[in-house]
Structure 1
Amino acid sequence: MAPATISTPRYLLDQAKRKLTPTPNTIPGMGAVDKRLQEKEWDQFVFAEPPAGSDLKPIMGDSGVPIIGHMIEIFRRGPDYILERYRREGPVYYAESPALSSVLALGPDATQAVFSNRNKDYSQRAWDPVIGPFFEGGLMLLDFEEHMFHRRIMQEAFTRTRLAGYVPHVDSVATKVLANDWVANDPRFLFFPSIKELTLDIASEVFMGHPAGTDKELVTTVNHAFTTTTRAGNAIVRKPVPPLKWWRGIQARKTLENYFLSRIDEKRRSESTDMFSVLCHSADEDGQTFTDAQIVSHMIFLMMAAHDTSTSTMTTMAYHLAANPEWQDRLREESERIGDGPLDIDSLDKLENYDLVINESLRMMTPLPFNFRQAIRDTDLLGYFIPAGTNVVTWPSINHRLPELWTDPEKFDPERFAEPRSEHKKHRYAFAPFGGGAHKCIGMVFGQLEIKTVMHRLLRQYRLELPRPGYQPRYDYGGMPVPIDGMPIVLRPLR
């Protein structure tokens, strides 16, 4: 199904309904652009007038700055900016954008309404204009019965037995790379690109069955292609015009397709336990299996999702453990009880303080801060009228920072997830880093096991320190949040 296109003029029923002036100094350090953004008065209009006689409320909206809309604020400030909009405009508001005009569904109640999707009003096709050309056929982009069919087959790759088999491979790669490739005592050591390379090495072995470093094409061409496809979704010009970002993303997708297609026959003949092989052999209860094209699409999406989200989470963890050495000590003490022997899934289950820190890191810097949906019929959202074809964007990451749900939400405080506080239980969607409903992340348990394994090995070998007192990272929010400076962290050997 082709994505519906929203024709903005159709809904501009009441131009200049009232004026809205942005809060001063909302985007520090942007010079003349900053000044123009702060002084601009935005015309607010009615986006969608409900049907006559309806009790539904109309959705208000604005277009932001001409041509660029609100893209600068979102790219520079991400969830901080969206949180301001929520406080100012409420849970349902329309934002016109040159990239993807959409209704913002903000706060835990709106998140729940969209994610639960009880009447199947919302489709995943809103992702099409964002990442569709790069990750078409991935599980996140499938809908309803097709999604459930694919998920049932794919679940075979994520059973506890399969997960237990992946742990030794993750452990082997992490132990080797941390011992041989990472640089100690160097304030210029950049954690983000280093952990990204490590997670790709892990994906190479666990997903592909290639020992880390043995597949030169994976390390060079494929790694670059994954990075290109992931970042292409934030392109300003969303047309395949060479050599612009959108076009480069499409070319990178072709590179990934060729790489995986060339290896399917080998995987179908093998009985190995890597995820690629599992997908080649998995079937549902009726014996239905994936086609070659479906396997390729799932591998491209899984490889991206697996190593990018884990990379983001461990980067956030490293920063907060360096900035909060008392928590680093608590994790290290817990790791002492396991020691340096081979890890297995049962031993990782015992690292309960790691769970608290992982969750707090996901809360403070959510790898996928937003989710896209599209209304396939006229519906309502918290009493507001949503026309068919409307793109709807949820931002679970702002729920993670609401003081009505979390005590002192800007503070790193993993204890908030432990009994008796359990602040994440105040609302079903107070904490939703893995999405929710039918599309809740299928690989979240694998990701947690991978993070525990790598961070356990890291803390057994190094003490993490900030590069300078008071250091705080800055992020690019053009897609998944990425530290602009690469996140320098000093590794002090423990022995």
Structure 2
Amino acid sequence: MKRSIMSLLAPPTITAVSGTVRQARALAAGQVQRVGARLAERYPARARALAAPPPGSGLRPIMGDYGPPGIGYTLNTLADPIPFARKRFERYGPIQWFGVLGRATVSVGSPAALEAVLLDRDKVFSAERGWEFLIGPFFHGGLLLRDFDEHLFHRRIMQQAFTRPRLIGYLELTTPCIARGVAAWEPSRSFHAYRAIKHLLLEQATEVFAGARLGPEGTRLAHAFEDAVAGGKALVRANIPGGVWARGLRGRRLLAEYFRRELPAKRAGAGTDLFSVLSRATTEDGHTFTDDEVVEHMIFVMMAAHDTSTIAAAMLIYELGRRPEWQDRLRAESLALGKDSLDYDDLDRLPSLDLAFREVLRLYAPVAQQARETIADTDLLGYYLPAGTLVMCSPYAMMHTDEYWPDAHVFDPERFAPDRREDRSHRFAWAPFGGGAHKCIGLYFGGMTVKAVLHQVLLRYRWTVPADYRVPLVAGTGPTPADGLPIRLERR
């Protein structure tokens, strides 16, 4: 019988303790970040140009300030990114710079600037170098960490794993897992929705992506995956025994060992899980992935798909808990469908769920930043950018800016309705999946997963959150509930 990572975790009491410890760590880290951010704001930093434009170029300098020596405004970007971005926008405009993790970093916060960087018509913005600085030790070799022709070559092969027939197959694999997981939820006055969804989608990832029969390795590999993801967010970026960075490196090694060991069987088999498909994916002219490339892509895809879907589903549950009228509207739509689970063609038959999903992606972009580094001197909408500059595009902050979105802080799915379509003010006004050559290859898989989960939850439960509750968010791949997102969950 096929068994997944999470179904093989140690006894429930140990799992619960582990979740509680991680939650306590997240809350404590968030508090430290907020205190540090307030102190950084008091530092008497003076505005100055990032670099002087070449004489006669006609380019303008990018203005900003580094912040406190060394750490700069790192804690501000983690603790309170939206207010911090708003203050910087008001002072310096949508293109400015500040210090992050020991580097002067240009922040891009307008749709037009986002478009210029992500489309990268002159091929001067390297995704590989930008992401390598942040998460390279844990996810190097993944599709996002490759550039230009090499990236397109790998994307062309990987696309074989995300065709419509493959997505239909993944949904067929994942539906029983989601149905079992959601049905097992125990109603409570303090049900931790984020933790439950994370548990559910990690189990789904092992079945749909890895097609795994893991036996007693389950606990070790589940923790290895979580540690690798956490490592990329570490503030102390040094291999100190017992530290977040060190645990992340060890987690990646364990994952690599597992995928490499299982790879020969995947190549020889006929499995329909993502691991099997990537192992055998071949372009029309016969190109395939090497063993090392399959391993690298699997580690990255596991992180990218699991983490982002978890954030989107959890935050959608949060907003629907605060707005019962929208929860009822979505439930009525799911009930009218008359089906316990979704088929692929049903995904377009839930228009209100699609509106709410789009709005949650705007408010809580699961990939909050897009990292690049300039490989040559260039200009960005008339501003001078020297080679070797780290550039952070921030769709998360940009989609919270009233200049681009009316009442940007308000959950209003109708802004995406046909008669409004506020996202059409600019092609990059709504950019939760990035854009250009690096636009998320798994965007349809992610939407499919979130909608499949919400359909099950809507049919089985009602839920609320206290009127005065606001979920405390900490920085992950995107804004992540630090307290596990407690809701009042009741069976229908």
Residue in 2 that maps onto 1:484: 482
| Alignment partner of 2:201 out of 199, 202, 224 | 199
Residue in 1 that maps onto 2:436: 437
Residue in 1 that maps onto 2:143: 139
Residue in 1 that maps onto 2:288: 289
Contact kept in structure 2, 1:69 and 1:97, CA below 8 Å: yes
| Alignment partner of 1:123 out of 116, 122, 126 | 126
Question: What is the CA deviation profile of residues 297-317 of structure 1, one whole-angstrom value per residue up to 9, with x for unaligned ones?
Answer: 000010111110000001100
Corresponding residue SS for 1:293:
helix
C-alpha distance in 1 between matches for 2:34 and 2:287: 58
**Alpha-carbon shift at residue 129 of structure 1 (Å):** 1.5
C-alpha distance in 2 between matches for 1:44 and 1:218: 53
Contact kept in structure 1, 2:266 and 2:279, CA below 8 Å: yes
| Alignment partner of 1:42 out of 42, 45, 57 | 45
C-alpha distance in 2 between matches for 1:87 and 1:43: 16
Corresponding residue SS for 2:365:
coil
**Alpha-carbon shift at residue 479 of structure 1 (Å):** 4.4
Contact kept in structure 1, 2:374 and 2:390, CA below 8 Å: yes
C-alpha distance in 2 between matches for 1:257 and 1:36: 40
Question: What is the CA deviation profile of residues 349-381 of structure 1, one whole-angstrom value per residue up to 9, with x for unaligned ones?
Answer: 211111111111111111111111011111001
Residue in 2 that maps onto 1:95: 98
C-alpha distance in 2 between matches for 1:31 and 1:201: 33
C-alpha distance in 1 between matches for 2:35 and 2:389: 34
Amino acid at match of 2:312: T
Amino acid at match of 1:439: H
**Alpha-carbon shift at residue 397 of structure 1 (Å):** 1.3
Amino acid at match of 1:162: R
**Alpha-carbon shift at residue 478 of structure 1 (Å):** 5.1
C-alpha distance in 1 between matches for 2:205 and 2:483: 25
Amino acid at match of 1:473: V
| Alignment partner of 1:470 out of 443, 468, 476 | 468
Residue in 2 that maps onto 1:271: 270
C-alpha distance in 1 between matches for 2:171 and 2:210: 15
C-alpha distance in 2 between matches for 1:374 and 1:476: 25
Contact kept in structure 1, 2:111 and 2:426, CA below 8 Å: yes
- After TM superposition, the structure 1 = structure 2 runs for residues 272-351 of structure 1, keeping only pairs within 5 Å, are 272-351=271-350
C-alpha distance in 2 between matches for 1:476 and 1:289: 39
Matched, 1:220 2:222: no
**Alpha-carbon shift at residue 475 of structure 1 (Å):** 0.8
Residue in 2 that maps onto 1:418: 417
**Could you say if the C-alpha distance between residues 170 and 100 of structure 1 is closer, same or farther in structure 2, counting changes exceeding 3 Å?**
farther
**Could you say if the C-alpha distance between residues 371 and 155 of structure 1 is closer, same or farther in structure 2, counting changes exceeding 3 Å?**
same
Residue in 2 that maps onto 1:68: 71
Contact kept in structure 1, 2:366 and 2:432, CA below 8 Å: yes
TM norm structure 2: 0.90
Residue in 2 that maps onto 1:378: 377
C-alpha distance in 2 between matches for 1:327 and 1:129: 41
C-alpha distance in 2 between matches for 1:106 and 1:64: 19
**Alpha-carbon shift at residue 98 of structure 1 (Å):** 3.1
C-alpha distance in 2 between matches for 1:101 and 1:224: 34
Corresponding residue SS for 2:226:
helix
Contact kept in structure 1, 2:193 and 2:314, CA below 8 Å: yes
Query: Matched residues, percent identical?
Result: 43
C-alpha distance in 1 between matches for 2:376 and 2:160: 34
Contact kept in structure 2, 1:403 and 1:409, CA below 8 Å: yes
**Alpha-carbon shift at residue 99 of structure 1 (Å):** 4.4
Corresponding residue SS for 1:435:
coil
C-alpha distance in 1 between matches for 2:458 and 2:293: 39
Contact kept in structure 1, 2:95 and 2:107, CA below 8 Å: yes
Residue in 2 that maps onto 1:162: 166
Amino acid at match of 2:467: P
C-alpha distance in 1 between matches for 2:216 and 2:204: 15
Higher mean C-alpha displacement, 265-274 vs 73-82:
73-82
What is the count of residue pairs matched by the alignment?
A: 462
**Alpha-carbon shift at residue 257 of structure 1 (Å):** 0.1
Corresponding residue SS for 2:318:
helix
**Could you say if the C-alpha distance between residues 192 and 219 of structure 1 is closer, same or farther in structure 2, counting changes exceeding 3 Å?**
farther
Residue in 1 that maps onto 2:11: none
**Alpha-carbon shift at residue 286 of structure 1 (Å):** 1.2
Higher mean C-alpha displacement, 449-458 vs 63-72:
63-72
C-alpha distance in 2 between matches for 1:28 and 1:303: 29
Residue in 1 that maps onto 2:394: 395
Question: What is the CA deviation profile of residues 103-148 of structure 1, one whole-angstrom value per residue up to 9, with x for unaligned ones?
Answer: 1122111101101101111111111121001001000000011101
Residue in 1 that maps onto 2:177: 173
Corresponding residue SS for 1:283:
coil
Contact kept in structure 2, 1:67 and 1:98, CA below 8 Å: yes
Question: What is the CA deviation profile of residues 9-33 of structure 1, one whole-angstrom value per residue up to 9, with x for unaligned ones?
Answer: xxxxxxxxxxxxxxxxxx9998975
C-alpha distance in 1 between matches for 2:236 and 2:410: 38
Contact kept in structure 1, 2:143 and 2:154, CA below 8 Å: yes
Higher mean C-alpha displacement, 404-413 vs 253-262:
404-413
Amino acid at match of 2:241: P
Where does the alignment leave 5 or more consecutive residues of structure 2 unmatched? 1-29
C-alpha distance in 2 between matches for 1:254 and 1:414: 42
**Could you say if the C-alpha distance between residues 301 and 33 of structure 1 is closer, same or farther in structure 2, counting changes exceeding 3 Å?**
closer
**Alpha-carbon shift at residue 216 of structure 1 (Å):** 4.5
C-alpha distance in 2 between matches for 1:83 and 1:232: 28
C-alpha distance in 1 between matches for 2:34 and 2:469: 23
C-alpha distance in 2 between matches for 1:439 and 1:30: 31
Contact kept in structure 2, 1:232 and 1:249, CA below 8 Å: yes
C-alpha distance in 2 between matches for 1:260 and 1:28: 37
Question: What is the CA deviation profile of residues 231-282 of structure 1, one whole-angstrom value per residue up to 9, with x for unaligned ones?
Answer: 2223222222323222221111101101111110110111111111100111
C-alpha distance in 2 between matches for 1:243 and 1:321: 39
C-alpha distance in 1 between matches for 2:429 and 2:265: 45
Contact kept in structure 1, 2:36 and 2:75, CA below 8 Å: no
Corresponding residue SS for 1:429:
coil
Give me the CA root mean square deviation: 1.9
Question: What is the CA deviation profile of residues 46-95 of structure 1, one whole-angstrom value per residue up to 9, with x for unaligned ones?
Answer: 22111111100112231212332112211210233123212221122121
Higher helix share: 2
Residue in 2 that maps onto 1:23: none
C-alpha distance in 1 between matches for 2:34 and 2:474: 18
C-alpha distance in 1 between matches for 2:417 and 2:216: 44
**Could you say if the C-alpha distance between residues 34 and 97 of structure 1 is closer, same or farther in structure 2, counting changes exceeding 3 Å?**
closer
Contact kept in structure 1, 2:53 and 2:59, CA below 8 Å: yes
Matched, 1:105 2:103: no
Contact kept in structure 1, 2:231 and 2:248, CA below 8 Å: yes
Contact kept in structure 2, 1:228 and 1:248, CA below 8 Å: yes
Contact kept in structure 1, 2:98 and 2:105, CA below 8 Å: yes
Contact kept in structure 2, 1:138 and 1:301, CA below 8 Å: yes
**Alpha-carbon shift at residue 187 of structure 1 (Å):** 2.1
